[in-house]
Every structure is written in C-alpha cells, then in structure tokens.
A = this chain, B = another copy of it.
C-alpha cells in the first residue's frame, strides 16, 4: 500500500471510529440486551452488533472491493488475507462494557495482502485513541508514543494476564506460570485484549499474555505494538496467522525471549 492510500484510509477509518465511539457514549446508559456465545461468560450485546453493522455499512459502501473480518460475523468469511482487509472488533472487552460501562475499546486493523498497514484501538469512554501507520510509529491521541525503552529486566516488568493461566489448563503447566508471577514485579488484568496491547505499546505494562485470541482481538494491537518496537507471537514463538485464534504473547523486546523460553515453552503441555 502506498503512503497516499494509507493516509487517506487512516483518516477515513479514524473518522468512522470516532463516530462509532460517540454513538456508544451517547447510548451507554440505555438498557442492554445481553446474550452469551461460546460459554456463559462470553457475552455479546446489541451494541456489539450495531457497532459492527455500522462499520460493515460504511466500508462496503465506500470500499466495495475491501474485505471485512469481524467478531460478530456480519463481515466476510475469509480464508486468506489477500487484498485490503479490515479486521474489526466492535467492542473489545464486552464484559467490561456490560459490568463497568468503561474499559472497553473499538479495535480496527487494516491489512494489505497480510501486511499490517493501519491500527486503531479506541478506549471509547476515556476518549483515548491509540493508532499506528506502518513504518511511521504509533500515536496516543495524536502524540507520538516513544519507542519502548531498551533497559528492562523481567524482575522490573509488569505482566498483563488473566488468572486462568494459573489454573489447570491445556496450554501450559500452571506451576510454570506461577513461577513467572513470582519473578516479575507485578501483574495486572484489565479485561480488554485490545487495551492491554495498547498498554504494552505505551509501556505501562511490559507484556500481555492471552490464552486464546481471535484475529479481531489482535489485528490493531499487533501493528501498534510493532511500531514502538514490541514483539507479538504465539506462545511457541511463531507469528500469529491472523486467520485463526491462538494463544498470544505481546511483549517488550527485552523480555520476550525469556518469557517465551523460560516459562511458556519450558512449561508447555
């Protein structure tokens, strides 16, 4: 994608995201209808669906040749990332949306033939927009995010992860992850993968680990984290395919290798 195309697409996507966010803020205290998906704690609301449909309508009308890959299924069914593909989570952190009416984000990544070109993570209630353009760095509300500082040890790191990593699970021995918890400075759990990617990019946490993320959870975050020098892989150290769900590690570069090899790979089941 050339710079002119990328810039135009960035401006258009940004406008739609801010518009969708304003709508959500206006309706935040309306009664909501909650359904569950894969399990009782996998929530979806009419707001998720309406927001996704807003993006589908806008994108399909202005860019009929673009594809759209999104959480609630109103987009396209994709088996490849050829062409221009928008990968969207209309509300990342639906549990927070439902229970907290804050701490959720709109996540939009735009890929060209599999290459991440544009990423947006919009903390809707705080009105904070994280963004990135390929090769041009990442921004927070228009201010450039500095590259991640180079000097960081595991012992000084703050790790975002949910508590299931420390319970019996199919991916990794819980004792290995308990050891990680004891070695790092602190752990946090915020309940929105997109925001935790943004926090890694901002350097307010140094790593985020998730057991199962879908492409729409990670599409924007991977680009934004990359632009400040962070690394995103699955928990075997391979690239996330962006077509299937996978366990994910996004990380400050100074600690990626040690978290991967000393805890995730060593503890692998």
Contacts and interface: CB of A to CB of B under 8 A. Distances in A.
A8 interface: no
* Copy total for this chain: 2
A112 interface: no
A237 interface: no
A186 B41 contact: yes
A230 B46 CA distance: 31
A178 B187 contact: no
A155 interface: yes
Contacts of A181: 163-164, 166-167
Contact of A188 (B158, B167, B189): B189
Nearest to A184: B41
Contacts of A40: 155, 185
Contacts of A155: 40
B190 A188 contact: yes
Interface of A is mostly: mixed
A153 to B, nearest CB: 11
Nearest to A199: B100
Interface residues of A, number: 29
A214 to B, nearest CB: 18
A269 interface: no
Interface in A39-65: 40-41
Contact of A187 (B162, B174, B182): B162
Interface in A12-44: 40-41
B185 A95 contact: yes
Contacts of A174: 166, 178
A102 interface: yes
A168 B163 contact: no
Contact of A168 (B167, B178, B185): B178
A243 to B, nearest CB: 27
